[in-house]
Amino acid sequence: MTSPISFDQFLQVDMRVGIIIEVQPFEKARKPAYKLRIDFGTELGVKKSSAQITHHYTPQNLIGRLVVAVVNFPPRQIADFMSEVLVLGLPDEHGHIVLLQPDETVPLGGRVH
């Protein structure tokens, strides 16, 4: 059971839309993952993230994909990589992550409301 939060607490979580511009295998990660570079537009620029999304996605089908990420968590060290944002997804019936993404084109850096 999750604890309820206030609307003001929800607004503190800064979720933005970005586009994946670079993908590399993350061989030092404990679980299969990619290193991503995501462009969030002029306000935030390009940020890095590590994502365990190798089951459903290849580097080729990730380039150019819009994603939603939390951009105001503190950076997190994962092996030798500093992850700056948390890309959002949901587990499928087998626990493999499926990315959240808008179904229409929206401006980069757009904030989730």
CATH number of the domain within which 21 lies: 2.40.50.140
Residue 1 banded pLDDT, cuts 50, 70, 90: confident
Residue 109 lies in a domain: no
Rounded to the nearest angstrom, the gap between the alpha carbon of residue 75 and the centroid of all alpha carbons in its chain is 13
In a domain, 1, yes or no: no
Check residue 2 and give its pLDDT. Answer: 84
Q: Is residue 105 in some structural domain?
A: no
Overall average pLDDT of the 62-82 stretch:
96
Instruction: Please name the amino acid found at residue 93.
Output: E
Neighbour order of strands in the sheet with 34-39: 46-51, 34-39, 15-25, 66-70, 86-87
Please give the pLDDT value at position 68: 98
C-alpha distances out from residue 70 to 1, 34, 49, 58, Å: 22, 17, 10, 22
Per the domain annotation, does 73 fall within a domain? yes
- The model carries a pTM of 0.94
CA–CA separation, 64 and 67 (whole Å): 9
Whether 64 is in a domain gets the answer yes
Q: Confirm whether 5 is domain-assigned.
A: no
Structural domain harbouring 30: 14-99
Across residues 71-82, what is the average pLDDT?
96
How many structural domains is the chain composed of? 1
Nearest 5°: phi and psi at 12? Answer: -75, -20
Within-domain flag for 95:
yes
pLDDT score of 108: 98
